[in-house]
Amino acid sequence: MTTAIELAAVDKVYPGNNPVTALWKIDLSIADGEFAALLGPSGCGKSTLLNMVAGFESVSGGALSVYGGPVSQPGPDRAVVFQEAALFPWLSVWENVVFGPKVQGLAPEQYEARARETLKLVGLENFHKHLPVQLSGGMKQRVGIARVLVMEPKLLLMDEPFGALDAQTRLTMQQLLLDVWQQLRKTVIFVTHDIDEAILLADVIYIMSARPGRIQSRIPVDLPRPRNLDTLTDQHFNDFKKRIMQEMRHDAH
């Protein structure tokens, strides 16, 4: 199986009078098409790790590669979905989604069919003329996801993308992401501190320690796919959650 993301003894230190070590000796290997969740307390360096894979930040030590090549800057093969969708408020849903391909200089016939398909995939085909101000939080995040999928990235890097949503909308978005991933099988790194969310979505969970962030455990999620929200009340799920919580408590000591 092809390795999509490889981190070997990666450190991240922010220099200054009092240098801050954010990440320490991170070893991580994510296969092509794998859905990996980074789970850990706030401030443990999950977003920093994601930003290094995205190319927004450089590593201080160790080696980081994406599909066998070093990472020196952001690239179209890696798309990032943040907690806030950050849509252009003056553009319609359609214009937001096709913004990337247009900026790349693609002709409309190269992206319009894909953009329509992507809007359908996220359930917004009937909202293409709406402005962001007319959308709910969950719908804005759907546009944000559609906007990156239309670029056909190899990697989807998601930094607590549902963290600002209410509980019900969050569940809806988790189901949407399960369905989208089931169809596209992109390689995903998903940052969260929600245990249920990590178990429901991921193939493998990496538990990180408090700062300086280290990988404490790598736990494959052996729940069968396809999954849906009913999985959350399954006995197997609850047993697995208990194991994760014990692992996290153990790591905290």
Distances (CA, A) of 148 to 12, 63, 79, 198, 214: 27, 27, 6, 21, 29
Say what the pLDDT of residue 144 is.
Answer: 94
Q: Are strands 61-66 and 78-81 parallel, antiparallel or unpaired?
A: unpaired
Say what the pLDDT of residue 30 is.
Answer: 97
Of the pLDDT bands very low, low, confident and very high (cuts 50, 70, 90), residue 210 is: confident
Half-sphere exposure of 132 (CA within 13 A, CB side): 17
User: Is residue 99 packed enough to be buried (19+ CB in 10 Å), middle (13-18) or exposed (0-12)?
Assistant: middle
**Nearest-10 crossing angle of helices 108-121, 137-149:** 140
Tokens of 118: 């992507």
Say what the pLDDT of residue 122 is.
Answer: 94
Q: What's the whole-number mean pLDDT along residues 229-238?
A: 93
pLDDT tens by residue, 152-201? 999 999 999 999 899 999 999 999 999 999 999 999 999 998 999 999 99
Q: What's the whole-number mean pLDDT along residues 209-232?
A: 92
Say what the pLDDT of residue 249 is.
Answer: 80
3-77+153-252 maps to CATH 3.40.50.300: yes
Tokens of 49: 């790790």
CA dist 75 and 185 (Å) reads: 20
CA dist 204 and 201 (Å) reads: 9
User: Is residue 250 packed enough to be buried (19+ CB in 10 Å), middle (13-18) or exposed (0-12)?
Assistant: exposed
Of the candidate ranges 46-50, 81-85, 249-253, the one whose mean pLDDT is the lowest: 249-253
Give yes or no for residue 247 having a pLDDT over 90. no
**What one-character-per-residue DSSP string does 202-239 give?**
-SEEEEEPSSSB-EEEEEE----SS--GGGGG-HHHHH
Give yes or no for residue 251 having a pLDDT over 70. no
The residue extents of the domains of the chain are 3-77+153-252
Say what the pLDDT of residue 231 is.
Answer: 92
Give yes or no for residue 41 having a pLDDT over 90. no
Write b or e for each residue in 18-56: b if 16 or more Cβ atoms lie within 10 A of its Cβ, otherwise e.
Answer: eeeebbbebebebeebbbbbbbbeeebbbbbbbbbbbbb
* Averaged pLDDT of the chain: 93
Residue 60 sits at φ, ψ, to 5 deg, of -90, -25
DSSP 132: G
Helices (H) and strands (E) in the chain, counts: 8, 10
pLDDT tens by residue, 134-166? 999 999 999 999 999 999 999 999 999 999 899
Evaluate whether 235 touches 67 at the Cβ level (below 8 Å).
no
pLDDT tens by residue, 68-127? 999 989 998 999 999 888 899 999 999 999 999 999 899 999 999 999 999 999 999 999
Say what the pLDDT of residue 252 is.
Answer: 60
CA 106 to chain centre: 26
Evaluate whether 161 touches 83 at the Cβ level (below 8 Å).
yes
Q: Global pTM?
A: 0.94
